[in-house]
Chain A
Amino acid sequence: MKNALGREIPEYISGVAEVKVFAGAFDTPPSMNRQAPKVKTVHPTDSKMLDSLAEVFAKIPVTDGMTLSFHHHFRNGDGVVNMVLTTAAKLGLKNLKVALSSVFPVHAPLIEHAKNGVVTALDTNYMSGPVAKAVSQGLFATPVVMRTHGGRGRAIECGQLKIDVAFIAAPAADEYGNINGVQGPAACGSLGYAFPDAQYADYVVAVTDYMVEYPLSPVSIPQTRVDYVVKVDCVGDPKGIVSGTTRITKDPVGLKIADNAAKVIQAAGLIKAGFSFQTGAGGASLATAAVVRRMMEKDGVTGSFALGGITGYMVDMLEKGLFKKLIDVQGFDLEAIQSIAKNPNHLEVGADYYASPFNAGCAVNKLDAVILGATEIDTDFNVNVVTGSDGVIMGGSGGHSDAAAGAKVTIVVANLLRGRLPIIVDKVLTATTPGETIDVLVTERGIAINPRRTDLKEKILAAGLPVKDIQELKELAEKIAGAPKQIKTGEKIVAIVEYRDGTIIDVVRQVEE
C-alpha cells in the first residue's frame, strides 16, 4: 500500500505487529494509554549495589528475547553497550533486542553479536559506521526500526517500545541510584535521551565508574526509578564523548548559505523579543547561529530559548543575555556540560519533553525557527537524512522530523552540489521528514520556498533574497553536475523509517555487499 508520500509500504513487515502507514504529519491521533511498568518496593535495609553486570543479569534475571535499552550520550566514546552485550554473549543469551537511541562506530562489536544470534533486533534513531553498513547489507532478519528522537520517547511512553531492562551509562551515581551527567571522568551533560527509558523500563540499572556519596546532587535521574547500581572500571572514553570546541565553518560557500538562512529568519519577522531557535552543531548550522546572533545584537533582541543539542556557542549566547533559557536534551562540548551543571537557566529535559508528539505538549512546538541539514531533498521538499548516495544507512532522523514538524519556520540548509551530486532530486531514496513540514531550502545558488508557504514567500521576496523555484534549482545543479542515476536496491527491507507519530514513512532496502 502507498502512504501519504506515495511510498510503497508492504502490508506485512516481519517484526512489525501492525503496519500503519504515514498519513500526514498530524493526521494520526493517538489511541492508547501510557505504558505502566511494574510497581516495586525497596526495603530500608536493601542494597542496590551489585558487583558486576553478570550479577545484574542473574538478579533481574535477563532472559532470552528481552529488550535492553541504552542512551547515546557517550556517542563514539561509549563503553557500556559493548560491555553489557559481551556479558550477555558470555551468559549465552539469545534473541535480545537492543534499543539504543543512536549507534556509533564504537558499537561495531554489535555486528558479531548479531551474527551469533545474541542480538536479533535493533531499535534506534540514528546510525553511522560499521553497524549501519552491516544493517544496510542485511545483518538482521527483521528490519531495524528507525525512529525520531521524539518518536522514541513516544514509543516508550505509549508501550510500543517496551523495555525490559534499561542500562543507563551514568557519568556519576550514588549507591541508591541517583544519577547525573555532569560529574566524573565521563561527564556528558544532559542525560535527556535516557529519561523515557528510566521512566518506563521494567528494570533500570545505573552503570557507572564514578560513585559519589549519597545523596548525589544535582539529580538527573532519581533513585525512585533505579533498581540497581553497578560500578565498573570505565564507562567510556571522554575523547569520544565530548567533541572539541565546535567551530564555525570557514568554507565560504557554507558561510554564504548560513548568511542567507539567517536572512530568511529575519525576513520572516522572527528576530524579535521572545525568539526561539534550534540549530545543529555542524559548521554551517553554527555559522547560521553566528549571523542570527549578530542580527539579535544589532537589534537589541533578547530571545526566549535555544533548543536541542547544545554547544558552547549557544552557552555563550545564554551568558551574554541573547537567550533567556537553553533547553538541553543533549550537550556536545565541555562548555555545554559546565553550563548545565551551574546555570539554572540551562534546563535538562528528556526526549519526550523535547519532541514527543503524543503528550500534552513538547518543546519543538514552541520553536520559531530551526535550521536542519539534508542528504537529499526532493521537489516536494521531502528530506532524506537516513541513506547516502550509495543507499547505505549513514544517519537517521534524530530530532530532524520532530523539529521540522514543530517549528514555525523550518529551514533546510544544503550545498546545491554535494561533492559531484546534486542535492535536489525528483524523489528522495528514503523519505525521512515529510515535505509538508519543510518550509524553505537555502542553497548557495538560491532559496526555494515550499509552495504551501505563500505567506513566507512574499516576505522573503520583499527582503530581496534570491528566491527560485525548487525545480529551477534542481536544473541548475544538473546543468553543472548532470543528473545522477537512481541507485538500485535489493528487495529485502533492512530498516523501517518510522515517523514521529509511529506510522511508517518509508522503508530502507538492502544494498549489495
Chain B
Amino acid sequence: MDMKLRRSMLFIPGNNPGMLQNGGVFGADSVILDLEDAVAPSEKDAARFLIAHALRTVDYGCSEKVIRINPLDTFAAEDIKAVVPCHPDAILVPKVESAEDIHTAVQMIAAAEQPDQTPVKIIALLETPRGILEAYNIAKADPRVVALALGAEDYTAGLGAMRTKEGTEIFTARTILVNAAAAAGVQSIDTPYTDANDEEGLLADTELAKRLGFKGKLSINPRQIDVIHSVFNPSISDIDWAEQVIHAIRKAEAEGSGVASLNGKMVDLPIVNRAERILHLARLLGLIEGAK
C-alpha cells in the first residue's frame, strides 16, 4: 500500500511562474500544479510549457509533485503528453466517473512515460454524483490509483443542491468516498475549504473530515497548510496510546499469550493497525524517533 503522506495537497495555478517557482516552500505534502480550473482555455498551452519546465527545474523539496490535468474528454491527451515525460509523481485526473475512465487515463499515461520512468501514480478526483457511486470500482480499477479525492463544488452542482460551509449536502459523498477508499486500500482526500480567510471554518471542516476517516485535504491557499497539518498530525495522546498498544502486543507475544489487552480492553487487529498507522505517521513527521 502507498503510505505517502498526503495530509495537505496544495493547488498551484499552472499559469503563474512565481507560484510555480515557490510552490515547494509552503511545506505541503503534495503540490498540485493545475492545468484545469486555474487556467483559461487560451492559456493551456503556455501553462503546459511552464509546468513541464517547472517539473524539470524547480526543487519542490519534500512535496510530492502532482499535476491536475484537464478532463479526459477535453485537453487531457495533450496535457499528459506534455507533462508525464517530465517525471511527475502523480496525475490528478478530474471528473472521473468510472473504472473505464481510469483505464483510459492509464493507457495515455503509460504511452507517454519514458522507458526508465517510475510509473506515474493516479489520484482520482470524484466530483459528480455518478463518480461517487462508482467510487469503489474507480479505486480498484488499476494499481496506479493511490487515492480518491472529493471535489465538492462540481458535485453539489450536479446534485442540484446549495453548497454550504456546514457541508450537510456533501455528507453522503464524503462517507461513501472514505468507505470506498478504505475498502480498496487507497487514501481518501477531502474537498478543499474554499474560504481562504476563514481559518476557524477551515479548522472545523478539516476536523470533521478527519473524524469521517479522510487522510488528507485538498487546499487552495498556502495559508491553509498549517491548520490542515495541525488536524491530521497525530496528537501526543494519540502517539502515547499507539505506543501503549504496541507495547501491550509485544508483551503478550513475549508471554506467549494470544490475547493482548490495554486498560482492560482487548487489543485486536484493527486497533493494532490503527496504532501502527499513527506511529508510522509520527515517525514520518519526526515526532518520534525510529526507522522511517
Contacts and interface: CB of A to CB of B under 8 A. Distances in A.
A464 B229 CA distance: 15
Contact of B26 (A252, A464, A479): A252
B25 A256 contact: yes
Interface stretch (B71-79, B170-178, B202-210, B219-227): B219-227
B22 interface: yes
A403 B226 CA distance: 31
A252 B21 contact: no
Contact of B223 (A252, A444, A464, A480): A252
A256 B21 contact: no
A259 B221 contact: no
A464 B222 CA distance: 19
A295 interface: no
Contact of B25 (A445, A464, A479): A445
B160 interface: no
B115 interface: no
A252 B221 contact: yes
A255 interface: yes
Interface in A422-467: 444-445, 464
Contacts of B264: none
Given A444-B25, A445-B25, A480-B21, A256 B286 contact: no
Nearest to B22: A253
Nearest to A464: B286
A253 B26 CA distance: 8
Contact of A255 (B19, B222, B286): B222
Nearest to B24: A445
A259 B229 CA distance: 15
Given A252-B221, A464-B286, A444 B22 contact: yes
B223 A255 contact: yes
Contacts of B286: 464
A252, A253, A256, A479, most chain B CB atoms within 10 A = A252
B5 to A, nearest CB: 16
Interface string B273-289: 00000000000001000
Contacts of B223: 252, 255
B58 to A, nearest CB: 8
A252 B10 CA distance: 12
Contacts of A464: 286
Interface string B20-31: 011001100000
A256 B28 CA distance: 12
B226 A259 contact: yes
B226 A253 contact: no
A253 B19 CA distance: 9
Interface string B214-255: 000000011100100000000000000000000000000000
Contacts of B26: 252, 256
A259 B26 CA distance: 11
Contacts of B25: 253, 256, 444-445
A173 B150 CA distance: 66
Nearest to A446: B25
A252 B223 CA distance: 7
A403 B251 CA distance: 59
Contacts of A259: 226
Interface string A460-483: 000010000000000000011000
Interface string B181-225: 000000000000000000000000000000000000000011100
Interface string B117-136: 00000000000000000000
Contacts of A444: 22, 25
A172 B222 CA distance: 47
A245 to B, nearest CB: 16
Nearest to A417: B21
A59 to B, nearest CB: 58
A255 B22 CA distance: 12
Interface in A248-264: 252-253, 255-256, 259
A241 B22 CA distance: 36
A419 B275 CA distance: 47
A146 B261 CA distance: 75
Interface string A464-507: 10000000000000011000000000000000000000000000
Contacts of B222: 252, 255-256
Nearest to A476: B59
Contacts of A445: 25
A464 B59 CA distance: 21
Interface string A232-250: 0000000000000000000
Contacts of B226: 259
A480 B59 CA distance: 9
A392 B19 CA distance: 29
Interface in B15-59: 19, 21-22, 25-26, 59
A444 B222 CA distance: 12
A445 B223 CA distance: 16
A444 B26 CA distance: 8
Nearest to A481: B21
A432 B25 CA distance: 29
Contacts of A253: 22, 25
A444 B223 CA distance: 13
A415 to B, nearest CB: 9
Interface string A170-183: 00000000000000
A259 B221 CA distance: 15
A397 B221 CA distance: 35
A256, A444, A445, A480, most chain B CB atoms within 10 A = A256
Contacts of A255: 222-223
A412 B21 CA distance: 22
Interface of B: 19, 21-22, 25-26, 59, 221-223, 226, 286
15 contacts: A252-B26, A252-B221, A252-B222, A252-B223, A253-B22, A255-B222, A255-B223, A256-B25, A256-B26, A256-B222, A259-B226, A444-B22, A464-B286, A479-B59, A480-B21
Closest 7 A/B residue pairs (Cβ): A252-B222, A444-B25, A253-B22, A445-B25, A255-B223, A256-B25, A256-B26
